[in-house]
């Protein structure tokens, strides 16, 4: 699940927004490393190396805007030994570290980051960018409701079907006209993102394969053989 479908990297690449893009700093993170943690006693790498343009601009150490340039990022909540994945961010996706969520690099990742005070000040100088921000916020709100709907009103099979459909639609159909799902997550991470156990997700994927809805082509790659039947599971 993504927060928004707006590719902010593409928007910032426009010449009229160059002053905004220049405010970001590039940071690289190796696979499985923490990008951000709300624990101020053990600062994440962002806070320790990213300073505002002027002293005092940063209201708190967790106020950052970052955009994924390359890689895959996981946003999740942790309570004791339990974890719940909120979203996975891909290149072009944006996130603001205003909550208690943790942010981790699922694979080697490059991000662009800026503190919110600097971002807000630069944005005020480019008022036309507010249209883009409204689109981003609208997408975040829509997808947040979708996450809540899935957890509160749908069973695990429906949540898995929605994940498969949304992931498949991010790529164009193959030469045979069918869409593929490439699972970039481990079984455990996928289960966490769907609020289920690894065994449950494994069983459901096997059931979908045996019923002919999916065809496992290789490790982590499934072809959707019967999209209509997969959509029926969403109801």
The answer to whether residues 130 and 95 belong to one domain is: yes
Q: Are 7 and 89 in contact (CB under 8 A)?
A: no
The residue length of the chain stands at 235
Q: How many CA within 13 A on the CB side of residue 61?
A: 14
Co-location of 146 and 51 in the same domain: yes
Distance of CA 52 to the CA centre of its chain: 25
Cβ–Cβ < 8 Å for 28, 110: yes
- Looking at the structure, tell me whether residues 102 and 165 fall in a common domain: no
41, 127: one domain: yes
The neighbour count for residue 81, using CB atoms within 10 Å, is 5
User: What's the pTM value of the predicted model, to 2 decimals?
Assistant: 0.68
Does residue 3 belong to any structural domain of this protein? no
Question: Do 136 and 46 fall into the same domain?
Answer: yes
Alpha-carbon distance 174 to 41, whole Å? 49
**What Rg, from alpha-carbon coordinates, does the chain have?**
19
* pLDDT reported for residue 119: 85
In terms of domains, do 29 and 80 share one?
A: yes
Name all contacts of 42-49 with Cβ < 8 Å and 24+ positions apart.
44/103, 46/97, 46/113, 49/25
pLDDT, tens only, 80-92:
777 777 778 888 8
pLDDT value, residue 213: 94
Please state, as a whole number, how many other Cβ atoms lie within 10 Å of the Cβ of residue 132.
19
Residue 152 pLDDT level (bands cut at 50, 70, 90): low
Over residues 41-60, the pLDDT tens digits come to 444 455 444 444 333 333 34
Dist. CA 169–CA 235, nearest whole Å: 18
Alpha helices in 68-155 (DSSP H): 116-124, 129-153
Domain match, 62 and 22 both: yes
The CATH number given to whatever domain includes residue 195 is 1.10.10.10
Classify residue 1: in a domain, yes or no: no
Q: Are residues 35 and 132 in the same domain?
A: yes
Domain that holds residue 170: 154-232
Distance CA 58, CA 106 (A): 28
Do 12 and 94 form a contact (C-beta atoms < 8 A)?
Answer: no
pLDDT tens for residues 206-230?
Answer: 999 999 999 999 988 999 999 999 9
Q: What is the number of other CB atoms lying within 10 angstroms of the CB of residue 152?
A: 7
DSSP state of 182: E
């Amino acid at each position: 699940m993504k927060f928004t479908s707006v590719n902010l990297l593409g928007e910032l690449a426009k010449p009229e927004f160059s002053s905004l893009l220049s405010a970001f700093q590039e940071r690289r993170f190796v696979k499985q490393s923490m990008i951000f943690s709300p624990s101020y006693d053990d600062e994440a790498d962002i806070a320790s190396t990213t300073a505002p343009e002027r002293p005092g601009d940063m209201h708190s150490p967790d106020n950052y805007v970052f955009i994924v340039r390359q890689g895959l990022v996981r946003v999740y909540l942790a309570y004791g030994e339990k974890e719940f994945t909120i979203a996975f961010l891909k290149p072009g996706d944006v996130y603001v570290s205003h909550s208690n969520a943790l942010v981790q690099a699922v694979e080697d990742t490059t991000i662009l980051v800026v503190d919110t005070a600097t971002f807000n000040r630069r944005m005020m100088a480019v008022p036309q960018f507010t249209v883009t921000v409204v689109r981003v916020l609208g997408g975040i709100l829509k997808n947040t409701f979708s996450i809540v709907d899935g957890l509160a009103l749908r069973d695990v099979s429906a949540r898995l079907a929605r994940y498969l459909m949304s992931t498949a639609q991010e790529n164009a159909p193959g030469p045979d006209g069918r869409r593929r799902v490439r699972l970039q997550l481990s079984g455990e991470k996928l289960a966490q993102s769907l609020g289920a156990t690894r065994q449950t997700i494994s069983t459901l994927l096997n059931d979908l394969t045996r019923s002919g809805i999916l065809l496992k082509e290789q490790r982590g790659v499934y072809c959707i053989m019967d999209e209509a039947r997969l959509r029926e599971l969403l109801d």
